[in-house]
Amino acid sequence: MRILFCNYEYPPLGGGGGVVMAALARTLARRHEVTIITSRARGLPASSTDDGALVLRVPVLFRRQLAVANFPSMLAYLPSGLLRGWRLGRQQQFDVINTHFAVPTGPLGDWLARSLGVPNVLSVHGGDLFDPSKRTSPHRHALLRAVVKGLLRRADVLVAQSEDTARNVSRIYGVNRNVERIPLGIDRPPPAAGARRSEFNVAENAYVLVTAGRIVARKATTQLIDTLVAIPDAVLLVIGDGPEASAVMRCAHDCNVAERVRMLGYVTDDVKYRAYEIADVFVSTSQHEGFGLVFLEAMAFGLPIVCYDRGGQTDFLSTPATGAVVALNDIRAFNDAVRSLRDSPERRATTSAANLRRVEDYYIERCAERYERLFEQAVSAHRDGGAS
């Protein structure tokens, strides 16, 4: 098949949604012809290849950060992407378009599919439908809500990565239609590298917590400082960066625990994996996750996970099987769960083994197989519909 992916963000721009789509594109490129139309910023090349997938970046305006987008750049992506995609589609016939995120990419995939006469598989990721931490979340604005509702209705195939996101299609947008569910997948990590705690200036007897992701309001990372106060022998590794990073360190200084916080910033996969190797527990205070790719990464290193109960991660995380899933913003219960795992090395070991087994169902090869079957069905249905 000739597959066209549309996604506003593609690594190194953006977060987890772009990362998993890149892994999906690379995996499918082993068997199919894969092209991606994404955005260009920060000196990135207009054209490149990523392990067999052709990555085309169209110019956008005013984007200055890798992790955080802005409205001018998102709006500029739509006409730029449409022009590039339309020209490309006239040169070669695509079989299917896979559009990732209703906002901001949704209109681009919708327009291209209709102008080129190919099926559009729209993949919604969660925050593009509902993000309780953002005033700009589409569900809060009548015009955006109407646009998203139309996109959800018109897509030839609609895919959600979790039951939570699938429910929001009808609960928030009133669109009652079949929603395929394909969990996200991650690349299988390399074998353990024998990381040492001294690499991160962490004592051998410390209880090491790790969290990862963009440090934005939705992640509520400052709450983890309260966990350090409650557990005096804990050290926190924070992987990632974002506009709330300074607030995390201010809170740590105010609470006199700054010496137990390691702000690692954006790091290579190798450094991230070494941090996971030395950690005891993965922690997240995110207020909502469409799916939660970082949880899978942590599971791949056998880490027990403590998080809240809002979002797609509840499809595959539970208490006590994977660690603890506690009520949203019940910080006392959260800290108790982290402490309980510290006090029971046996339970940590049992949970670690269970998470290593469970994550086998969530590697990118499984995700790619499911998408491949769905694309074939969409292409077949579109051809049959055209023939009739």
What distance in Å separates the CA atoms of residue 267 and residue 273, rounded to the nearest whole number? Answer: 10
Q: Is residue 191 part of a domain?
A: no
What distance in Å separates the CA atoms of residue 237 and residue 253, rounded to the nearest whole number? Answer: 15
208 and 355 in a common domain: yes
174 and 145 in a common domain: yes
Q: In what order do the strands lie in the sheet with 207-212?
A: 261-265, 234-239, 207-212, 281-283, 305-308, 323-326
268 and 128 in a common domain: no
Q: What is the mean pLDDT of residues 31-37?
A: 98
What distance in Å separates the CA atoms of residue 186 and residue 67, rounded to the nearest whole number? Answer: 19
Q: What is the mean pLDDT of residues 253-262?
A: 97
Q: What is the pLDDT of residue 388?
A: 44
217 and 348 in a common domain: yes
108 and 24 in a common domain: yes
Q: Is residue 338 part of a domain?
A: yes
357 and 367 in a common domain: no
Q: What is the pLDDT of residue 226?
A: 97
**Helix (H), strand (E), coil (C) string for the chain:** CEEEEECCCCCCCCCHHHHHHHHHHHHHCCCCEEEEEEEECCCCCCEEEECCEEEEEEECCCCCCCCCCCHHHHHHHHHHHHHHHHHHHHHCCCCEEEEECCCCCHHHHHHHHHHHCCCEEEEECCCCCCCCCCCCCHHHCHHHHHHHHHHHHHCCEEEECCHHHHHHHHHCCCCCCCCEECCCCECCCCCCCCCCHHHHCCCCCCEEEEEECCCCHHHCCCHHHHHHHHCCCEEEEEEECCCCHHHHHHHHHHCCCHHHEEEEECCCHHHHHHHHHHCCEEECCCCCECCCHHHHHHHHCCCCEEEECCEHHHHCCCCCCCEEEECCCCHHHHHHHHHHHHHCHHHHHHHHHHHHHHHHHHEHHHHHHHHHHHHHHHHHHHHHHHHC
Q: What is the pLDDT of residue 72?
A: 66
Q: How confident is the model at residue 16 (pLDDT cuts 50, 70, 90)?
A: confident
Amino acid at 199: E
262: left (phi over 0), alpha (psi -120 to 50) or beta: beta
Q: What is the pLDDT of residue 68?
A: 55
Q: Is residue 331 part of a domain?
A: yes
201 and 173 in a common domain: no
Which residues on neighbouring strands pair with residue 98, listed in sequence order?
5, 121
Amino acid at 248: V
Q: Is residue 192 part of a domain?
A: no
Q: Is residue 267 part of a domain?
A: yes
pLDDT > 80? residue 15? no
Q: Are residues 148 and 281 in contact, defined by beta-carbon separation less than 8 angstroms?
A: no
pLDDT tens profile 146-182: 999 999 999 999 999 999 999 999 999 999 999 999 9
Only one residue has tokens 């090395």, namely 345
211 and 174 in a common domain: no
125 and 147 in a common domain: yes
What distance in Å separates the CA atoms of residue 27 and residue 263, rounded to the nearest whole number? Answer: 32
158 and 13 in a common domain: yes
Q: What is the mean pLDDT of residues 367-384?
A: 95
Residue ranges making up the domain that contains 285: 197-362
What distance in Å separates the CA atoms of residue 159 and residue 161, rounded to the nearest whole number? Answer: 7
Only one residue has tokens 């963009």, namely 214
pLDDT tens profile 307-336: 999 988 999 999 999 999 999 999 999 999
What distance in Å separates the CA atoms of residue 168 and residue 103, rounded to the nearest whole number? Answer: 15
pLDDT tens profile 342-360: 999 999 999 999 999 999 9
pLDDT > 90? residue 248? yes
Q: What is the pLDDT of residue 134?
A: 78
Q: What is the mean pLDDT of residues 105-117?
A: 96
Q: Are residues 257 and 238 in contact, defined by beta-carbon separation less than 8 angstroms?
A: no
Across the chain, mean pLDDT equals 93
177 and 32 in a common domain: yes
pTM for the whole structure: 0.82
**What six digits make up the tokens of 326?**
């506690």
349 and 372 in a common domain: no
Kindly give the pairing relationship between strand 33-40 and strand 53-59.
Answer: parallel
Q: In what order do the strands lie in the sheet with 96-100?
A: 47-50, 53-59, 33-40, 2-6, 96-100, 120-124, 157-160, 180-181
CATH code for the domain in which residue 343 is found: 3.40.50.2000
What distance in Å separates the CA atoms of residue 161 and residue 182, rounded to the nearest whole number? Answer: 5
Q: Is residue 25 part of a domain?
A: yes
Q: Is residue 79 part of a domain?
A: yes
* Number of compact structural domains in the chain: 2
Q: Is residue 8 part of a domain?
A: yes
Residue 281: exposed, middle, or buried by beta-carbon count in 10 A (0-12, 13-18, 19+)? buried
Q: Are residues 217 and 133 in contact, defined by beta-carbon separation less than 8 angstroms?
A: yes
